[in-house]
Amino acid sequence: MDRRLQLHEKLKALVPNVYFQQPPSNGMTYPCIVYKRDAESTDHANNSLYRSKKRYQVEVIDRNPDSKIPDSVSKLPYCSFSRFFVVDNLNHDVYNLYF
């Protein structure tokens, strides 16, 4: 199975509404997780690619400011908190996740 699809399934275990890349805002159901590819980390050895990991930006969007979903996302391996902001009474917790 593709690594992104594995990540999608892990995120769906945390919340039922998971979107890869952001759909139109009127097409989302909250609480939800929106994630997208953000960057890639590569290591080289002996003049060739040794290791490569894709980084995803994972955004938890919830009306509840005390939601437990961000805590669950933050416990995923290779995950780090990036920022928090509020738009239209929706709380956004943003994480960087290597997967």
Q: Which CATH architecture has domain 3-98?
A: 2-Layer Sandwich (3.30)
What is the reported pLDDT for 27? Answer: 81
Distance CA 96, CA 66 (A): 20
Is the bond into 70 cis (omega within 30 degrees of 0)?
Answer: no
Contacts 24+ apart (CB under 8 A), 20-24: none
Domain ranges of the chain: 3-98
3-state SS assignment for residue 10: helix
Q: What is the pTM of this model?
A: 0.87
**pLDDT per position in the chain (99 positions), as tens?**
699 999 999 999 999 999 998 877 678 999 999 999 998 877 778 888 777 889 999 999 999 999 999 999 999 999 999 999 999 999 999 999 999
